[in-house]
Amino acid sequence: QVQLVESGGGLVQPGGSLRLSCVASGSGFSINAMGWYRQAPGKERELVASIPSGGSTNYAGSVKGRFTISRDNAKNTVYLQMNSLKPEDTAVYYCNADVRFSGTLYWHEYWGQGTQVTVSS
């Protein structure tokens, strides 16, 4: 009922920039926190950045100062602006959202399909 659709991934040179977008589509729900995770080959999925509906943002130490997470609540969209990209940023990036459906009491976690980010010369 809720679908997270990611876009913006691709191939960039070291030092370049990308902006990832994730749109939550559907109806009858509200969203609390949204965030971005990533997973590189042979490594566990890790939190990149998160942004609660009304709280402060959170960043992994490896991206702090280079990445910026933001959201547009009217569009149910979360963004990840990635600057000064490094080869070690290469990974599949996944959108995440905590969703509550109307008439229910609990938040449920949804994930996007992932978008590939490759940083290489």
**pLDDT 10s digits, 14-62:** 999 999 999 999 999 999 999 999 999 999 999 999 999 887 899 999 9
What is the distance in angstroms between the CA of the first residue and the CA of the last residue of the chain? Answer: 40
Q: Please, are residues 70 and 36 in contact by the beta-carbon 8 Å criterion?
A: no
**pLDDT 10s digits, 54-111:** 878 999 999 999 999 999 999 999 999 999 999 999 999 999 999 999 999 889 999 9
φ and ψ of 18, to 5 deg: -145, 155
Per-residue b/e over 2-29, b at no fewer than 16 CB within 10 Å? bebebebbeebeeeeebebbbbbeeeeb
* Residue linked to tokens 């933001």: 70
